[in-house]
Structure 1
Amino acid sequence: MNLRRLKYFVKIVDVGSLTQASEVLHVAQPALSQQLATLEGEFRQQLLLRTQKGVVPTEAGRALYRHAQIILRQFEQAQSDVLHAGRALSGQVSVGLAPGTAASALALPLLQTVQGRYPQIVLHINENFGTTLCDVVRDGRMDMAVLYGGERVMQGLSFDALLTEDLFVVAPEGTLGQDDEVALAELRDVDLLLPRSSNQLRKHVDQAFASARIVPHVVAEMESSNTLAAAIASGVGATILPVSMARGVAAMAAVELRRIVSPTIEVPLSLCASDHLPLSEPAQAVKAILLELVDRLEREAGLHALH
């Protein structure tokens, strides 16, 4: 098996058509079909199914597609490392930052610091939901991601705890009284707007209520900060967020913030990476900068650093 066949296969799957792939790759379709047949012969598996709309990968094809992306990405990084050995660090590094979290505050400082120290590193920043970020890191399509969670073991991933944040209630004005804190039991009958149940933050909230033997009154599920701020300001309900997210929502609307106590609830922010794919030298340098910025964020925002 050679890398060229893998590149051809990945491109065919990406475009979903042998004809279009041959045009993009500038390879005659009969030759491309022969390369695919050779690849299927090497694996002794059918890799693609032909349909009226083009081609789709089989189960074996999807497995090869995932591994081929990792292999090709590592080879490209190896080429870059060898070519620039002894020179300034260069190459592409991808970092995921879960939106609406303390991680979002790292985006601009990370970009500025990387450009200042390593101008030849091309940084790709992706802001997406945590579960999606875990998937792309596990598959090797992203170097690392900063997101909530990491307490439980996830196959193919490692987590380094960065800091923890206290959970706050964000509610319409006049809802929570004058105290700076609110006991969890006082939220028993409060209408709550929370993320969907698969969200890591929601899992922490549900666990806290379950431990207190309280059933939260969830009236809607949403994850958009703008919609959440508007809904709370209009009196639809309250929400529960880490302090950094709570302050962000409060900046967009007239709301009240109260720290939850009895018990205090904390959520960890973690750095997620593959547990079997080593980071490239440029990625290691970016990781070091991320850790520096987390320290700075902890000092400025009064959060609790863990690493």
Structure 2
Amino acid sequence: MNLRRLKYFVKIVDVGSLTQAADILHIAQPALSQQLATLEGEVNQQLLIRTKRGVTPTEAGKTLYSHAQSILRQCEQAQSAIDRVGASLSGSVSVGLAPGTAAQNLALPLMMEVQQQHPGIVLYFNENFGTTLSELIMNGRMDMAVIYDHRNIHGLRFMPLMKEDLCFVCPFSLAKPMKEIRLAEVAQYDLFLPRIYNIMRKVLDDAFVQNNLQYRVKCEIESQTTLNAALTAGLGATIMPESAARAMLKTSDSWMAKIVEPDVQASLSFCMSDHLPLSQPAEAVKSILLSLMSRRNVENHPLTLVG
């Protein structure tokens, strides 16, 4: 195997089409097909299944794809390290910040600190839901993320940062404000919650089940704009981490209350690959991000620190 064929193979799997991959790689499709055939001959396995809709990897193809991602990433890092000998850190670093997390407010401080310490590093911020961010890291398309999760997932490593209280957010038009609310009372409201695969939803499901409570999901919403509009219209309530709840009060004409009996908390974690090493620029950004998180934790007493 050579690196060029591995790059071709990864691109074909990524786009799911030989024709589109050939266009992106600026080579003729017959030549790309020949490179693929040579690679399949080298590993003595069929790597792709061709259909009318495109191509999909076989089990052998999936295995090679995973290893190829790691090999190509390490080669890029080796070249970057060689290029940076005697020079300052430079390159692109991707950082995921899940919406509504306490870390989301660190985007600007992180940007400023990185620019001050390493002006050659270009940051890419992705603010998406935790499941998507973790998948991007697992596939080697993102360096790191701060998300609500702490599960043992193959391909990922989680570093617990803090635990944050979950809060009930309710429009003034539905009920009078209170500072705390029992989970049993929360179950009596029509709720707007994210889809079942969202880690926040799983935390809530577990809490309700463990306390033998039935609850009503009026609508599954993952758009912040739509959720704000629904609350402003007084159509129902929601449950969010404290930092997200506080930010939401300004735009939704709502109040918030800590959920008690029992307390319900979500774990905020730093997430990275457990097998793809970080580049030197990414390591520098990681260090700055964790330092900023630690500093912010000390300043914000409502958050429970981990470790």
Instruction: Give the Cα–Cα distance (whole angstroms) in 1 for the partners of residues 18 and 196 of structure 2.
Output: 41
Distance of aligned partners of 1:209 and 1:82 in 2 relative to their CA distance in 1, 3 Å threshold:
same
Matched positions, count = 306
Deviation at 1:228, TM superposition (A): 1.1
Corresponding residue for residue 214 of structure 2: 215
Is the Cα contact below 8 Å between 2:171 and 2:252 reproduced in 1? no
Report the RMSD for the aligned CA atoms in angstroms: 2.2
Deviation at 1:14, TM superposition (A): 4.3
Deviates more, 1:161-170 or 1:102-111: 102-111
Is the Cα contact below 8 Å between 2:171 and 2:237 reproduced in 1? yes
Deviates more, 1:8-17 or 1:192-201: 8-17
In the superposition, the TM-score normalised over structure 1's length comes to: 0.91
Structure 2 segments unaligned to the other structure (5+ residues): none
Is the Cα contact below 8 Å between 2:177 and 2:255 reproduced in 1? no
Instruction: Give the Cα–Cα distance (whole angstroms) in 2 for the partners of residues 90 and 283 of structure 1.
Output: 10
Is the partner of 1:252 in helix, strand or coil?
A: helix
Deviation at 1:61, TM superposition (A): 2.8
Q: Give yes or no for the alignment of 1:47 onto 2:47.
A: yes
Instruction: Output aligned runs, 1:1-307, within 5 Å.
Output: 1-18=1-18, 21-22=21-22, 24-52=24-52, 55-150=55-150, 152-302=151-301, 303-307=303-307
Deviation at 1:113, TM superposition (A): 1.6
Is the partner of 1:87 in helix, strand or coil?
A: coil
Distance of aligned partners of 1:187 and 1:291 in 2 relative to their CA distance in 1, 3 Å threshold:
same
Is the partner of 2:252 in helix, strand or coil?
A: coil
In the superposition, the TM-score normalised over structure 2's length comes to: 0.91
Is the Cα contact below 8 Å between 1:169 and 1:239 reproduced in 2? yes
Instruction: Give the Cα–Cα distance (whole angstroms) in 1 for the partners of residues 171 and 136 of structure 2.
Output: 37
- 1:152-189 CA deviation, whole Å, 9 max, x = no partner? 31112111111221111100105443431112222231
Instruction: Give the Cα–Cα distance (whole angstroms) in 2 for the partners of residues 98 and 211 of structure 1.
Output: 27
Determine what percentage of the aligned residue pairs are the same residue.
57
Instruction: Give the Cα–Cα distance (whole angstroms) in 2 for the partners of residues 40 and 20 of structure 1.
Output: 20
Structure 1 segments unaligned to the other structure (5+ residues): none
Is the Cα contact below 8 Å between 2:174 and 2:234 reproduced in 1? no
Deviation at 1:24, TM superposition (A): 4.5
Distance of aligned partners of 1:228 and 1:27 in 2 relative to their CA distance in 1, 3 Å threshold:
closer
Deviation at 1:103, TM superposition (A): 2.7
Deviation at 1:245, TM superposition (A): 0.9
Q: Which amino acid aligns with 1:148?
A: Y
